[in-house]
Structure 1
Amino acid sequence: MTNTEEQKFLDELDKKLWTAADKLRSTLDAAQYKHTVLGLVFLKYVSDAFDIRRAELEAQFKNPDHEYYMDPADFGGAESDDYKLDINYELEERDYYLETNTFWVPAVARWQFLQDNNKTVIGGATLNYSNRSGEQEKLKLSSVGHLIDNALEAIEADNPKLKGVLNKRYTQLQIDQAKLGELIDLIATIPFAHATLNSKDILGHVYEYMLGQFALAEGKKGGQFYTPKSIVALIVQMLEPFKGRVYDPAMGSGGFFVQSEHFITQHQGKIGEVSIYGQEYNHTTWQLAAMNMAIRGIDFNFGREPASTYTNDQHPDLRADFVMANPPFNMKEWDTGVSDEDPRWQYGRPPSGNANFAWLQHMLHHTAPNGSLGLLLANGSMSSNTNNEGSIRRALIENDLVECMVALPGQLFTNTQIPACIWFLTKNKNSRTSASGRALSDRRGKVLFIDARNLGYMKDRVLRDFTQEDLNKVTETFHNWQEGNWGVEDDVQVSTKVAGGYGARSDQVGFVKSVQLNEIEKHDFVLTPGRYVGAAAEEDDGEPFAEKMARLTGQLKTQFEESDRLEGEIKMNLAGLGYEV
C-alpha cells in the first residue's frame, strides 16, 4: 500500500474519531469528553492488540513447526472437546501476552464484552461471563459507565504499571447512558489493524490528532497539555536523544517522549537504551501521559504521583542526558513554598512574578555534566531585565552554558499568541562525541543564533506550522556549527543549499550567525537572534536610493492631498444632511 493510501486511511480515521467526540460535545465540556473518548479509545486499542496476539497464539498452537504446537493426538483429536478446552485454557495464559509486551486484558474488559452488553446494563443488570477456567461467573453492574469503569479497574489490577493511571470516572459522568452506549458502538468501528501500519503507529496518530483537536476545542486552557508536533520534533532532532536519560519536568501528555521514540526508531536506534523521566502537576494530564507511554510499550518513571515540579520534585537526584520541556509561559506565583536558598537557583533567584528562569535553572540543575537541554520560552526571556532576570541571563552567558537560540514564527500555538523562542543549553562545549556518534567541535565562547521567524506556512486561517524541510534546515544548520563545519562555503553556495532544504555552513544575513561572547556582552547580554543575524538584504531593483525616496515621498504627498480632498467632500455632504461636523 502506498503512503497516499495510508494517509487516506488515517484521514478517514480522524473523521470517525471526531464524530465520536461530537456525540458527547453537547453534554460534556471539552476537558471531560477528552478523557471520556481517549479512555474508550485506549480500551479499544488494548483489546484489539490482545485479540491480534490471541489469534497469533492460536495459530502457533496448531502449527506443527512451532514450539508452542499442541498435538491434537494427545487430546483425542482436533475436534475433541478436550483439545478445544485446553487451547482455550492456554489462550488465557498471561505470560504468552507479556512476552510480546502485549497488555493482558481480562474477559470483562475486552471490547466485545463491552459492545455486547452496553445496552443490557442500562438501568442495571447482572451479567454472566466465563473466567479463565471456563467457569461462569456473575457481575452486577448499574450502568454503562459502571461497565466501563469495571473494565478499566480490571485492566489496572492485571497490569501493575497502570496502577492509578486510568481515568475511572465514567460512572460519575452526567450523561445519557444510551449516548455512552452509542459511543462504544461507534468506537467499535475504529480499526487498529492495517496492512502496512502497525497498531501502535495508528494509536499514536490517534492520540496526537485527538490531543491537538481537544487543545483547539478547549482554547488557552487546553493547550497546556499539548505542544505542536513540529516544535517538539525540532527540539528532538536538534538534541538527538539516542541513548541515556531523557527528562521533561513539565511533560503534559508526553509529546517529547513520543517524538524521541519516533526519532530513535527512524535512525535505527534502540528505544531500550533510553530511560524516560517526567513530571506533571495536573492529575488527569499525568494520566494521559502514562497511558501515552503504556500503549507504546515505553518504560517510564513519572514519579509516585502528580506533583508540582517546584515544591515536590519527583526526581531530586536525577541528572539527565537530555532535558526537554514546554512549560507554561510567564507563569506567576509559582514559588509558594519554595525556599530562596533552593540549590537549583545557582545563577540567581527567579522573580515571583515570572517562572521562566525558574524552569530554566531547574532543568539545568537536572542536566548531567555532558548533558544538553532544549526549552521553549516566551521571547521576553531573551531580553527582559525585570526583577533579576537580566542578571540570571548574564550569569548563564558568562558561564558559557548557552549554545543556541532559535527565534520562532508567530501563530504556532493553539493556546497563546505570545511570540516564542527555543533555548538550547549545554554544560560541555568541549570537543567530544555526541550520543548519536557525531564528532562535536570545541564551541567554547560561542553561541549560535538562528532566526526562523520567516520559516513555515499557514496550515489554516489561524495556525502556522513547519514543513519537514524547515525542520531540517534549522537542525542541519545547528549540527554543522556544532561539528565545526562553519565558514567553509561562500554565500552563493550557502544560499543555494538553504533554498534546497540544507542547513547553512556559514553566517547568513537574516537567518544565522555564530557570535562570540564578547559581542553578546556589547549588546547587554540580550539573546534575541534578530539583533545578531541582521535583516536579509532586499532584492536590488536597479533604482538608486535617492531617486526611490524622492518618488515615494512624492506619491505619499499626492495621497495625503487626495485624502484631504475626500475628507472635505464628506464633511460638505454631512452638513447638507443637517449633521454638524
Structure 2
Amino acid sequence: MNNEEQEFLNSLEKKLWTAADKLRSTLDAAQYKHTVLGLVFLKYVSDSFDIRREELKAQFQNPDHEYFLDPEDYDGAESEEYQDELNSELEERDYYAEANVFWVPSQARWQFLQDNNKTVIGGAELILDDGNKLKLSSVGHLIDNALEAIEVDNPKLKGVLNKRYTQLQIDQAKLGELIDLIATVPFSHDSLSSKDILGHVYEYFLGQFALAEGKKGGQFYTPKSIVSLIVQMLEPFKGRVYDPAMGSGGFFVQSEHFITEHQGKIGEVSIYGQEYNHTTWQLAAMNMAIRGIDFNFGKEPANTYTNDQHPDLRADFVMANPPFNMKEWDAGVSDDDPRWQYGRPPSGNANFAWLQHMLYHLAPNGSMGLLLANGSMSSNTNNEGVIRKALIENDLVECMVALPGQLFTNTQIPACIWFLTKNKRERTSAYGKKLRNRKGEVLFIDARNLGYMKDRVVRDFTQEDLNAVTSIYHNWQTSKPINEQDNTVISTKVERSPTDYCDVPGFCKSAKLEELQKHDYVLTPGRYVGAAAEEDDGEPFAEKMARLTGQLKTQFEESDSLEGEIKKNLAGLGYDV
C-alpha cells in the first residue's frame, strides 16, 4: 500500500470513529458497535449498487457494447420512452447478480435514507418509486426497514443483519446526524477497490471496539498479527477451512488475503465456522458477505459442544482462538463423546476439549493451529497431563510456539500456539510444498522476545517477526535439520541456504520424542531451546575474569576517593557528615 492509499484509509478511520463517538454517550460499546457497523454495511452495499448502476448506464449508452440501447428506436435519447426503458433496464436484478453485487431495493438505497431521515422523526408516510406507500415511525424504523428489504432480496443474508435500530434508546435526531455523516464516507478510490476499503474499515472498527469493550470485546476479536501468523504457517491455499470458535471471522479473512497474495483462487476454499453468540455470528456473516466469500456457519448460532453445526466435516485446515481456560463447558456433553479420543477433558477447563474437538474434525492430511493458555503446555491437573501425553505418543504435535505477553486487548494470560497434524509423513502440501518425513519430531519456537509495544498496554508483531517464525517452521518441514546432518551446534551467523533449518539456541529447537519423554511430556519451548548463545569475543575466560576483576577494584578505589572529596566539601559548607 502506497502513502497516498494509507493516508486515504487513515482519514476514513478518523471520520468513521467520529461517527461512533456521536453515539458513545448514549450507547454502550457493544450496542454502538452493531449500530455503526450496520450503517457502514448499508452505505457500502448502496455505493456498490450505485457504482454498478453507473457502469450499466454507460454500457447501455455505448454503441459498441452488447447492452446498447439505440436511441433511434425510441425517438431519441431525450425522449420519455427512451428514459423509461433505460431506467427499467437499470432496475433488472440479473445485471447486478452477474457482477456479484447485492441487489438494493429503492427504500434501502443510501440516498433514500439521507433524504428521509429528518422526515420520519415522529412518523411519516413515504411514496416509493413503484408507487407503493411506506409508513415509518422513526429513523430507527427507516433503517430497520432498509435492512429487512435487503435481506428479503438477498437470501444469503437472511438473519445476518442486525435489525434492532427501532429498539435503540437514542435520540432520533442524533441517529439522523449519523446517517448524514456516514454519507460523506467514500467507498471508491482510484487504486483501492470498494471491498478493500470496507474490509479495512471493518477490521479497524473490530479492533477499536475490542479495545472499548475490554475483556468482553476480546471474545469476538483476535489480534490481526496472531491470526496472520497462524495463517502464514498453515498456508490454507485450497480445501476446507474450519473455525469452531470463529468470533467475527478473522481467520477466514486472513486466509482470503493469503490466497489472493499468492495468486490462488478463492473458489478453491470452502469456509466453515461456528459461533455461540448471536450478534457475533452476525458480525462474522456480514464480514464474509462484504468480501463476497461463500460460507457455511451452520443453520444458527450454537454451542460447539452440544450442538455441533458441522458433525460430518473433516477439514483440511482448522484454526481457532477459543476462550482460554473456559469453565463449566461440559453441561449436556457425554463422557464417552467420540471426540474425546485421547482422554476426557476436565470440567474446570475446556482447553483440551477445544483441541480434541478440532482434531476430531481434521482430515487425515489436515493441519491445525490454535491459541491456548500457556498452562496447556505443562499442566498435569485433572487428566490434562494424560491427554497431552497421548497426543505426543500418537505423534500429533508438530510445532509449539511460545508468544510474548500483552498481545491481547482482553487478557494478560500468557498464550502459546499449538500446531498439530495427523500425517507427518513425506507428502505434498495444499500449497504445493514437498514436506519431508517428520515422524517422531516436534519443533519448538520461543517467540517471547519478538514484537514491539504498539502502545502502553498492547504488544504487536512486525511483518519481519511473522516472517522469522514462519520461515523457521517451513524450513523445518521441508529440510532435514543441519544439526542432525553434521552433529554440530550451528550459530545464527553460519552461512547456509535460506531454506535450510538448524537449531538456534534460545529461539528454536527440533526435538525427538525421547527428549519429550525425558521432560515428562511438557511442551514449553523454553525447556528445549535453551539460552541464546553468547557471542565469543576471542578472549580466554581466565584472562577476561582477571581483567574485569581489576577494573572492578579500580572502580571501587575511585568510588572511595570521590566519597572522601564529597564529605570534605560538605564539611566545608557546615554540614556534619
Identify unmatched segments of 5+ residues in structure 1. Answer: 562-581
Question: How far apart are residue 495 of structure 1 and its match?
Answer: 3.8
Whole-angstrom distance in 1 between the partners of 2:239 and 2:58: 39
Partner of 2:433: 438
Partner of 1:104: 103
Tell me, yes or no, if the aligned pair for 1:145 and 1:173 is still in contact at 8 Å: yes
Partner of 2:6: 7
Q: Deviations over 1:496-527 (max 9, x none)?
A: 789x9x67720000111111011000000000
Task: Select which of 459, 465, 468 maps to 2:454.
Answer: 459
Partner of 2:22: 23
Partner of 1:506: 502
Query: Aligned pair 1:126/2:122, yes or no?
Result: no
Aligned CA RMSD, in angstroms, stands at 2.2
1:334 to 1:550, Cα distance in 2 relative to 1, 3 A = farther
Whole-angstrom distance in 1 between the partners of 2:127 and 2:506: 70
1:88 to 1:330, Cα distance in 2 relative to 1, 3 A = same
Tell me, yes or no, if the aligned pair for 2:454 and 2:460 is still in contact at 8 Å: yes
Tell me, yes or no, if the aligned pair for 1:497 and 1:504 is still in contact at 8 Å: no
User: Aligned ranges for residues 525-536 of structure 1 at < 5 Å?
Assistant: 525-536=521-532
Query: Aligned pair 1:524/2:520, yes or no?
Result: yes
What TM-score does the superposition give when structure 1 sets the normalisation length? Answer: 0.92
1:213 to 1:120, Cα distance in 2 relative to 1, 3 A = same
Tell me, yes or no, if the aligned pair for 1:458 and 1:465 is still in contact at 8 Å: yes
Partner of 1:414: 409
Query: Aligned pair 1:266/2:261, yes or no?
Result: yes
Whole-angstrom distance in 2 between the partners of 1:556 and 1:266: 59
Partner of 1:515: 511
Identify unmatched segments of 5+ residues in structure 2. Answer: 561-577
Whole-angstrom distance in 1 between the partners of 2:465 and 2:508: 14
Tell me, yes or no, if the aligned pair for 1:474 and 1:503 is still in contact at 8 Å: no
Q: Deviations over 1:376-407 (max 9, x none)?
A: 00010000000000000000000000000011
Whole-angstrom distance in 2 between the partners of 1:281 and 1:241: 24
Partner of 1:78: 77
1:549 to 1:315, Cα distance in 2 relative to 1, 3 A = farther
Whole-angstrom distance in 2 between the partners of 1:173 and 1:553: 71
Partner of 1:567: none
Question: How far apart are residue 547 of structure 1 and its match?
Answer: 5.6
1:317 to 1:492, Cα distance in 2 relative to 1, 3 A = closer
1:47 to 1:335, Cα distance in 2 relative to 1, 3 A = same
Query: Aligned pair 1:303/2:298, yes or no?
Result: yes
Query: Aligned pair 1:142/2:141, yes or no?
Result: no
Query: Aligned pair 1:241/2:236, yes or no?
Result: yes
Whole-angstrom distance in 2 between the partners of 1:553 and 1:356: 52
Tell me, yes or no, if the aligned pair for 1:472 and 1:503 is still in contact at 8 Å: no
1:60 maps to a residue whose letter is: Q
1:348 maps to a residue whose letter is: G
Query: Aligned pair 1:45/2:41, yes or no?
Result: no
Tell me, yes or no, if the aligned pair for 2:316 and 2:365 is still in contact at 8 Å: yes
Say how many residue pairs are matched.
552
Task: Select which of 533, 536, 560 maps to 1:537.
Answer: 533
- 4+ residue runs over 3 A deviation: 488-498, 538-558
Q: Deviations over 1:282-323 (max 9, x none)?
A: 000000000000010000000000000000000000000000
Partner of 1:570: none
Question: How far apart are residue 551 of structure 1 and its match?
Answer: 8.7
Question: How far apart are residue 182 of structure 1 and its match?
Answer: 0.6
SS at match of 1:130: coil
Question: How far apart are residue 486 of structure 1 and its match?
Answer: 2.7
2:528 maps to a residue whose letter is: Y
Tell me, yes or no, if the aligned pair for 1:254 and 1:292 is still in contact at 8 Å: yes
Tell me, yes or no, if the aligned pair for 1:393 and 1:525 is still in contact at 8 Å: yes
Whole-angstrom distance in 2 between the partners of 1:168 and 1:329: 31
Question: How far apart are residue 346 of structure 1 and its match?
Answer: 0.2
Tell me, yes or no, if the aligned pair for 2:49 and 2:103 is still in contact at 8 Å: yes
Partner of 1:579: none
Query: Aligned pair 1:321/2:309, yes or no?
Result: no
1:386 to 1:45, Cα distance in 2 relative to 1, 3 A = same
Whole-angstrom distance in 1 between the partners of 2:330 and 2:546: 59
Tell me, yes or no, if the aligned pair for 2:491 and 2:533 is still in contact at 8 Å: no
Query: Aligned pair 1:347/2:342, yes or no?
Result: yes
Question: How far apart are residue 537 of structure 1 and its match?
Answer: 2.7
Whole-angstrom distance in 1 between the partners of 2:530 and 2:554: 29
Tell me, yes or no, if the aligned pair for 2:236 and 2:317 is still in contact at 8 Å: yes
User: Aligned ranges for residues 453-492 of structure 1 at < 5 Å?
Assistant: 453-487=448-482
Q: Deviations over 1:343-376 (max 9, x none)?
A: 0000000000000000000000000000000000
Larger displacement relative to structure 2 (25-34 or 75-84): 75-84
SS at match of 1:292: helix
Whole-angstrom distance in 1 between the partners of 2:194 and 2:200: 10
SS at match of 1:53: helix
Tell me, yes or no, if the aligned pair for 1:410 and 1:419 is still in contact at 8 Å: yes
Partner of 1:283: 278
Query: Aligned pair 1:368/2:363, yes or no?
Result: yes
Whole-angstrom distance in 2 between the partners of 1:273 and 1:399: 31
Whole-angstrom distance in 2 between the partners of 1:497 and 1:337: 57
1:404 to 1:63, Cα distance in 2 relative to 1, 3 A = same
**Percent sequence identity over matched residues?**
79
SS at match of 1:22: helix
Question: How far apart are residue 459 of structure 1 and its match?
Answer: 1.1
SS at match of 2:215: coil
Query: Aligned pair 1:87/2:82, yes or no?
Result: no
Query: Aligned pair 1:379/2:367, yes or no?
Result: no
Whole-angstrom distance in 2 between the partners of 1:188 and 1:194: 16
Question: How far apart are residue 540 of structure 1 and its match?
Answer: 5.5
SS at match of 1:514: strand
Partner of 2:64: 65
Partner of 1:55: 54
1:185 maps to a residue whose letter is: D
Partner of 1:426: 421
1:285 maps to a residue whose letter is: T
Tell me, yes or no, if the aligned pair for 1:494 and 1:504 is still in contact at 8 Å: no
SS at match of 1:381: helix
Tell me, yes or no, if the aligned pair for 2:479 and 2:499 is still in contact at 8 Å: no
Question: How far apart are residue 533 of structure 1 and its match?
Answer: 0.4
Task: Select which of 214, 224, 248 maps to 2:219.
Answer: 224
1:298 maps to a residue whose letter is: I
Query: Aligned pair 1:337/2:336, yes or no?
Result: no
Whole-angstrom distance in 1 between the partners of 2:110 and 2:29: 25
